Structure 1
Amino acid sequence: MQIKSGVEQAICIMVMLATQHNGDAVTSDTISDRLDVSPSFLKKIMRMLVVKKLITSTSGKNGGFQLAKDIDEIRLLDVFEAIEGTPPFLKTTSLVHQIFSDQHTASIGEQLVIQAFGNAEERYREALGQYSLGTLLRKTFNVGQLEQFDWNAYRRV
């Protein structure tokens, strides 16, 4: 399984918003510039985060994006599902039924494979659900209180 690059970008967006000075809004241009990614693709990612209510969007002169929740309420699973969605990892086409004439046995085998992938997916999602953005950031910086930045004042040189 390969995770879309949008998940990494979404996590970086969330990190920038979590460390923004006073929780002020950060413009999409600022985020795009800092991450050095396509503004149009970034806006699609940000829209997915807005739809999942992880960030909010405000228009106007002081507009931009802000976290919609406390950093300790945002889980990696939330970010993952905002970008990747929630459909099951494995989608079968019942191809195994083309191999065996005994359709009952083929169905049993297919269900066992679906169950194995389902169990693995459940553990995967459970593991992502254990990590909050707040915990990850505090561990990354080895601090109790996060440093804040004014991302809107930054420009890539």
Structure 2
Amino acid sequence: MQIKSGVEQAMCILVMLATQRNGEAVTSDTISERLDVSPSFLKKIMRMLVVKKIITSTSGKNGGFQLAKDVDDIQLLEVFEAIEGVSPFLKTTNLVQHIFSDQKTAQAGEKIMKQAFDHAEQSYRSELASYSLGVLLRETFKVGDLQQFDWNGIRRV
């Protein structure tokens, strides 16, 4: 399984919003410039985060994007599902039944395989649910209070 690059971009967007001075809005242009990614693709990612109520969007002169909730209330699973969706990792097509004439054996094998993948997926999602954006940031910066920046005022060099 390969996770879409949009998950990494979503995490970077959230890091910027979480560390923005006084929780002020950050413009999509600022984020796009800082991450050096296409503005149109970035807006699609941000829209997915808005739809899932992870961030908010405000239009106007002082508009931009902000976190919709506290960093400790944003699970990495939410971010993953906002970008990747919630479909199961494995979708069977009963292909194994074409191999064996004994359909009972084929069905039993398929069931066991599906259970293994379902268990792995459950573990994967459970692990992501155990981390919040706040925990990730505090562990990364090794601080209790997050450092704040004025991302709208910082230009990439």
The two structures have a TM-score, normalised by structure 1, of 0.98
* Cross-structure match for 2:73: 73
* Cross-structure match for 1:148: 148
* Cross-structure match for 1:113: 113
Identity of aligned residues (%): 76
> 2:41 & 2:108 partners in 1: Cα distance?
43
The SS at the match of 1:66 is strand
Letter in structure 2 aligned against 1:76: L
> 2:138 & 2:116 partners in 1: Cα distance?
35
Please report how far the alpha carbon of residue 22 of structure 1 lies from its aligned counterpart in structure 2 after TM superposition: 0.5
> 2:120 & 2:6 partners in 1: Cα distance?
23
* Cross-structure match for 1:60: 60
Please report how far the alpha carbon of residue 154 of structure 1 lies from its aligned counterpart in structure 2 after TM superposition: 1.4
Letter in structure 2 aligned against 1:117: F
> 1:95 & 1:40 partners in 2: Cα distance?
39
**RMSD in angstroms over aligned alpha carbons?**
0.6
Letter in structure 2 aligned against 1:110: E
Aligned residue pairs total 157
* Cross-structure match for 2:134: 134
> 1:34 & 1:108 partners in 2: Cα distance?
52
| Alignment gaps of 5+ in structure 2 | none
Letter in structure 1 aligned against 2:3: I
The SS at the match of 2:57 is strand
Letter in structure 1 aligned against 2:15: V
Over 2 Å off, 4+ runs: none
> 2:141 & 2:31 partners in 1: Cα distance?
21
| Alignment gaps of 5+ in structure 1 | none
The SS at the match of 1:147 is coil
